Chains A and B, each alone.
Chain A
Amino acid sequence: MLDLSLLVQYGPALLRGFGVTILCWGAGCLIGMVLGFVLMLLRQLPIKPLRWIIRAYIEVIRGTPFLIQLFLLYSGGPSIGLRLEATTAGILGLGIYGSAYFAEIFRAGYQAVPKGQVEAALSLGMSYGSILRRVIVPAMLVSTIPAIVNMMAILTKETVVLSIITVPELMYEMQTMAAETFATFETILGMALFYWLLVEVVSRLGRRLEARVTRFLTHASPQGSSTETATARA
């Protein structure tokens, strides 16, 4: 028999687990994006050995299972003096794993920036830092937002792996519930619901973000867009 009251009984623990999942996911995404962006920038430098190292890093991370990377970090870490708490290791692991993919997404975005836009900035005497901030990154956002959101959605699901190194996230709490009550089906159902909810929220926010960063392609002017919103509300 399906006993949904179990989900209520274990509610607080599950919500706590959900919170840890979101924390690990959010922090992991942030680290992954920052690290990925830095890797992409370093790869633009004309230093060949550096390029090889970064390329090797990306290939290794993308070519090995996340589970194994996490084990190496958490269980193998202490043998080189890196002793991490489970949640810290989980966040760092997600960040490293994501960084390889984000670096590739950003590289594609960087290459897609029209050369003329950069030349116009150069010819006006703008510095590389200004050009990066004011011209390249905004242009990259437009072309990469769908891929970034997609990667973030994929990472929500990778968080389940963290349960294996005893991070008290949703999967871990669910397994505890299943072990204590033998209610396997309810557990799996509850879990599917939580992750679906998370992915749905992420992709909805992603669509909003996409509309926001590409608004200049569809609206005549900022004034125009605000009047339109006002009319829509009225």
Chain B
Amino acid sequence: MTAVSQTATPPRTMVQGDAVPMVSIRGVGKSFGTNEVLRDIDLTVNKSEVVCLIGPSGSGKSTLLRCINFLEVYDRGEIRIEGTLVGYTEDTPRRRLSNRDLRSLRRNVGMVFQQFNLWPHMTALENVAEALVQVRGMDKASAASHAGRMLDRVGLAAKADAYPARLSGGQQQRVAIARVIAMEPHLMLFDEPTSALDPELVGEVLQVMRDLAADGMTMVVVTHEMGFAANVADKVAFLDRGRIAAFGTPREVFHESTEPRVQQFLQTYHERNSF
């Protein structure tokens, strides 16, 4: 198979077709002033893998996630998506990528936010159809029917004409997921997708995410839902003070890790979630 040569933008690195990871993070660091929030991060996400980022708050998980689609600028190291360097040109010294190139990179990377971030002046259907028209250049009618199918996929076909203010948090988050999958991304980033939800609404969102994982979507998920991480993730990365302190399969991290910070974190988690 010569899949690589057929793609529109061939990866610039010399790696063989199937071996190009979806996300490759090498030596990434970032500082806010003198505060070093990410230090020397290495992480690889392969196609169709689900990787969960866990760890105490302030450990840098969300910042790392936001660096992957360059909503946050990283200072050191490199992040590549399907071989393409994120946010910078390949020149030395590297320069910032033009907005146009950044946009074409981002359209293949979907992001789901903690606060849903739906546009309140558009109905659920309009929210999903918007980027199809503005970014993919679809005409309004086909965008609307495509958007309708996506809402159906997250179980919200009946809410197509509702404005976000009239939807529950769980429904809003499912619309936000539909908005992303409508763009047919190669990779989806989730930034604490269930943290703003009432406990009884968490399940419906996690179910949609499980379905996506089962369909082979590549996902990087920042989460406090240890159950989801344990059952759905292929790999778990535990971050602490800007470093990956433990990395492996859920079993390796949750049950076999001898790293004291991981054990302390899990103990706190269990105490907080027991009666």
By a beta-carbon cutoff of 8 Å, the part of chain A in contact with chain B is 114, 116-117, 119-128, 130, 134-135, 138-139, 142, 213, 216-217, 219-224
Contacts and interface: CB of A to CB of B under 8 A. Distances in A.
Contacts of B162: 220-221
B213 interface: no
Counting contact residues on chain B (CB < 8 A from A), the size range is 20 to 34
B179 A117 contact: no
Closest 4 CB pairs of A and B: A125-B107, A116-B117, A120-B117, A221-B161
B97 interface: no
16 contacts: A116-B117, A117-B117, A119-B71, A120-B118, A120-B119, A120-B179, A123-B69, A125-B103, A125-B104, A125-B106, A128-B99, A138-B121, A217-B163, A220-B162, A221-B166, A222-B123
B216 interface: no
The interface centre, meaning the residue of B106, B120, B179, B189 with most chain A CB atoms within 10 A of its CB, is B120
B103 A116 contact: no
A116 B118 CA distance: 9
Interface in B140-169: 161-163, 165-166
Contacts of A138: 119, 121
Residue of B71, B115, B117 ringed by the most chain A CB atoms within 10 A:
B117
Interface stretch (B7-15, B128-136, B264-272): B128-136
A223 B69 contact: no
A216 B164 CA distance: 8
Interface of B: 69, 71, 99, 103-104, 106-107, 109-111, 113, 115, 117-123, 130-131, 134-135, 161-163, 165-166, 176, 179-180, 183, 189
Contacts of B122: 216
Chain A interface, >50% SS class: helix
Contacts of A122: 71, 106
Contacts, number: 89
Contacts of B104: 125
A124 B107 contact: yes
B121 A124 contact: no
A223 B117 CA distance: 24
Contacts of B111: 119-120, 123
A223 B131 contact: no
B121 A219 contact: no
B165 A217 contact: yes
A220 B121 contact: no
